[in-house]
Amino acid sequence: MSHLAFRRPCGRKRATAPAAALLAFLVAGLSFACDATSRHKVLTFFFDGVPPLETPGAEPAPGAATPSAARPISFQEHGPYAAKLCTACHNQDVGNALVAPPDQLCGRCHAMKLDKAYIHGPLASGDCLVCHDPHSSPYKPLLVSQSDSFCFQCHDRNDIANSSGHANLEEPCTTCHDAHMSNQKYLLK
């Protein structure tokens, strides 16, 4: 039999389903061969909303603070993401590119009048994603990390502790400071 008998008419492309199935099989096989931490890294690379990796261990002592990894996690989701309205932010015809530049995207739905004397740097530059996750988060209001130490991702804890008015760093920063903007210096409320 000639090799011409296997040609597709009219230049149609070959089906890629076998290649995709093989790739999926390889990824699945490799992920089962990995430890839990490696599997978690692979899953969070490819998928949004993967819960944090829980660390195995003994029950905490009575009265001890429960580590965040052992607490039950409930995710809150951004409205369009929860409603599967991906096209509110992404153009699926152009490889899921954003429908607007990142510094303008959030402002299309979340109108924030920047009318205060002092504006937090990430908000002023339109970089909402420094603090907020656009899809889902176990932290309110869609923060990228736990709120009790959140501000110290960018602000140096020692510098803050040495400045006046910060004798007690146990209180959340937002007790005294507005996270977005204020008419008071240092974003004081």
Note the pLDDT tens digit of each residue in 96-137: 888 988 888 888 888 888 899 999 988 888 888 888 888 888
Total count of domains within the chain: 1
Q: CA–CA separation, 139 vs 180, rounded Å?
A: 17
Q: CA–CA separation, 90 vs 153, rounded Å?
A: 28
Q: What is the pTM of this model?
A: 0.56
Chain CA centroid to CA 109, Å: 18
Domain membership flag for residue 139: yes
Domain membership flag for residue 189: yes
For residue 154, the enclosing domain spans 74-189
Domain membership flag for residue 127: yes
Q: CA–CA separation, 188 vs 178, rounded Å?
A: 6
Domain membership flag for residue 145: yes
Domain membership flag for residue 28: no
Tokens of 20: 């995709």
What are the pLDDT digits (tens) for 39-74?
A: 667 666 666 666 676 655 444 444 444 444 444 456
Domain membership flag for residue 116: yes
Domain membership flag for residue 32: no
CA-based nearest residue to 177, from 2, 167, 165, 69: 165
The letter for the amino acid at 175 is T
Domain membership flag for residue 53: no
Q: CA–CA separation, 109 vs 107, rounded Å?
A: 5
Phi-psi region of 35 (alpha: psi -120 to 50; beta: other; left: phi over 0): beta
The mean pLDDT value for 89-101 works out to: 87
What is the predicted pLDDT for the residue at 149?
Answer: 74
The mean pLDDT value for 13-18 works out to: 57
